[in-house]
């Protein structure tokens, strides 16, 4: 049974979401405090639904704190509907972004999709997939079993979305993947606004894996088309 924390200061929304999620078999905890949401996130929760407008601290700050400690999936829930706000939220490491007003049924489907992706990526590598692959003489090592990367000998944690994006590109070396294709591979479904969403995740990924994010070696932009992985595989 997945454990979900709803961090939301509007009790009516919390009650509706809790009811829908519990009907699907989830264990649901509710708080209107960002600080308490951070504490719950430290207790092996499976997913956080996070409102950005909270009484004690901003949802953005809650997301920053959680991301500095954990890769637990985060779905932002907010009335901030502008594209820039959405990109900012995803740039902080959120896995998905839902704008109020919303359909509770749609949110439940998104919760299931994020959890499914997170669990699949956290499971051991499939038999036909190497548990790890190095590139550029060990500069970058993608560890599929551990769901992280090693950059110049240092282990670097990636969010589920970042890892899935990198893995999707690395499994298609040299092939240009459009933003729409990446969204479908990463999220398992398509939605509007994918161009800027993908760009935000790639920007975060580059900060973590590239020697110089402004001149990337591994995840390169093919202007007008999408992205491709250009790492040179290490010999076995």
- Alpha carbon 201 to chain centroid, angstroms: 8
Rounded Cα gap, residues 206 and 215, in angstroms: 10
How far is the C-alpha of 222 from the C-alpha of 176, rounded, in Å?
A: 7
Q: How do residues 146-191 score in pLDDT, each as one tens digit?
A: 888 999 999 998 887 888 899 999 999 999 999 888 887 877 655 5
What is the phi/psi pair of residue 93, to 5°?
A: 110, 10
pLDDT band at 78; cut points 50, 70, 90? confident
- Let me know if domain 132-229 sits in CATH 1.25.10.10: no
Q: Give the bridge partners for 48, in sequence order.
A: 5, 74
Quick check: helix, strand or coil at residue 204?
Answer: helix
More confident residue, 132 or 219: 219
What is the dotted CATH code of the domain comprising 3-122?
A: 3.40.50.2300
The answer, yes or no, to whether residue 127 has pLDDT greater than 50, is: no
User: Could you state, in order of their start, the residue ranges of all structural domains in the chain?
Assistant: 3-122, 132-229
Q: How far apart are CA 4 and CA 6, in angstroms?
A: 7
What Å distances lie between residue 111 and 4, 46, 108, 143, CA to CA? 9, 10, 5, 26
């Amino acid at each position: 049974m997945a454990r979900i924390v709803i961090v939301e200061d509007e009790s009516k929304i919390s009650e509706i979401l809790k009811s829908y999620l519990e009907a699907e078999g989830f264990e649901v905890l509710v708080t209107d405090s960002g600080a308490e949401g951070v504490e719950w996130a430290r207790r092996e929760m499976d997913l956080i639904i996070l409102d950005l407008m909270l009484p004690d601290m901003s949802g953005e700050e809650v997301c920053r704190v959680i991301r500095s400690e954990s890769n637990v999936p985060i779905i932002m829930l907010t009335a901030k509907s502008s594209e820039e706000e959405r990109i900012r939220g995803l740039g902080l490491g959120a896995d998905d972004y839902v704008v109020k007003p919303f359909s509770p049924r749609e949110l439940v489907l998104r919760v299931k999709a994020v959890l499914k992706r997170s669990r699949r990526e956290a499971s051991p590598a499939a038999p036909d997939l190497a548990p790890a692959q190095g590139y550029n003489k060990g500069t970058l090592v993608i560890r599929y079993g551990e769901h992280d990367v090693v950059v110049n000998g240092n282990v670097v944690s990636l969010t589920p979305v970042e890892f899935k994006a990198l893995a999707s590109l690395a499994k298609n070396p040299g092939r240009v993947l459009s933003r729409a294709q990446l969204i479908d591979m990463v999220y398992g479904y398509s939605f509007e606004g994918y161009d800027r969403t993908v760009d935000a995740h790639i920007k975060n990924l580059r900060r973590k894996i590239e020697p110089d994010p402004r001149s990337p070696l591994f995840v390169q932009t093919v202007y007008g088309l999408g992205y491709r992985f250009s790492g040179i595989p290490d010999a076995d």
